[in-house]
Chains A and B, each alone.
Chain A
Amino acid sequence: AAGVIQSPRHLIKEKRETATLKCYPIPRHDTVYWYQQGPGQDPQFLISFYEKMQSDKGSIPDRFSAQQFSDYHSELNMSSLELGDSALYFCASSSRDRGQYEQYFGPGTRLTVT
């Protein structure tokens, strides 16, 4: 079965640079979530989109923005990167319209800021 696709899988950036992470949800899933997992930490919710509209916002820094496109893929844009942004970034998708609330996670993008 198709899973959530994230790209790139690994990314190395320098401080103050920008980064864009991409997420392709499972086909027919209408909701996308972004999570950040720091080293040794639990995943923290950043932001979610339902039918291309922002659905909920968590602990996402103002330097970050995200959107969901017409084909349901989502991008997380990160600017003025800081060392503390080094983390594993997960995208997850679910099908809210079908009452399927379980979120299926992608493999994650490991961002390293040097």
Chain B
Amino acid sequence: AQKVTQAQTEISVVEKEDVTLDCVYETRDTTYYLFWYKQPPSGELVFLIRRNSFDEQNEISGRYSWNFQKSTSSFNFTITASQVVDSAVYFCALSDTVAGANNLFFGTGTRLTVIP
């Protein structure tokens, strides 16, 4: 069965600090996809990144970076020099490819508050 664990329920940082959001997943599939979504106070879910299980290369996009480590089943997300606009709930999600279905299993989310 698929499971995504985001152990950090809430994190507060002061603006310009770096922050890492943890994500640990479980799956028996050898092919799977991992995602991060941002949910700002307005409520929409914003896609941030997708990573497939065969690509362990870390990725950087501006102030965002992701560290995928298959050995520890983790897909952590780091925001560098945080800004107030980064305040949101961040969800890590897992998608398998069983029967071609790609529904997402979400973690419980981490609420990030960036204090000015």
Q: Which residues from chain A sit less than 8 Å from chain B, CB to CB?
A: 31, 33, 35, 41-45, 48, 50, 55-56, 58, 88, 90, 92, 94, 96, 101-108, 110
Contact A102 B103 (CB under 8 A): no
- Give B49-77 as 1s and 0s: 1 = Cβ < 8 Å from A's Cβ atoms: 01000000000000000000000000000
B26-69 vs A, Cβ < 8 Å mask (1 yes, 0 no): 00000001010100000111110010000000000000000000
Check B100–A101 contact: CB distance below 8 A.
no
Measured in the bound complex, the distance between the Cα atoms of B46 and A88 in whole Å is 15
For the complex, give the distance between the alpha carbons of A41 and B91 in Å.
11
Given A42-B107, A42-B109, A110-B43, residue A103 in contact with residue B91 (CB < 8 A): no
User: Majority SS of interface residues in chain A?
Assistant: strand
A48-B100 Cα distance, complex, nearest whole Å: 11
Inter-subunit contact B99/A56 (CB<8 Å): yes
Partner of B100, one of A42, A50, A92: A50
Residues of A contacting B91 in the complex (Cβ-Cβ under 8 angstroms): 42-43
Contact A42 B108 (CB under 8 A): yes
Question: Within the assembled complex, what's the spacing in Å between the Cα atoms of A8 and B11?
Answer: 33
A residues less than 8 Å from B95 (CB atoms): 101, 103
Contact with A along B79-116 (1 / 0, CB 8 A): 00000000000010001000111111111110000000
Binding site for A on B (CB under 8 A): 33, 35, 37, 43-47, 50, 91, 95, 99-109
Check A48–B33 contact: CB distance below 8 A: no
Q: Indicate if the CB atoms of A101 and B99 lie closer than 8 Å.
A: no
Verify A101–B102 contact, CB threshold 8 A.
Answer: yes
List 9 other contacts, CB 8 Å, given A94-B102, A96-B100, A108-B44: A33-B104, A42-B91, A45-B103, A56-B99, A92-B104, A101-B33, A101-B50, A108-B43, A110-B43
A–B Cβ pairs within 8 angstroms, 27 of them: A35-B104, A41-B108, A42-B107, A42-B109, A43-B91, A43-B106, A44-B106, A45-B105, A48-B101, A48-B102, A50-B100, A56-B103, A58-B103, A90-B45, A92-B45, A94-B102, A101-B33, A101-B50, A101-B95, A101-B102, A102-B35, A102-B50, A103-B95, A105-B45, A105-B47, A108-B44, A108-B45
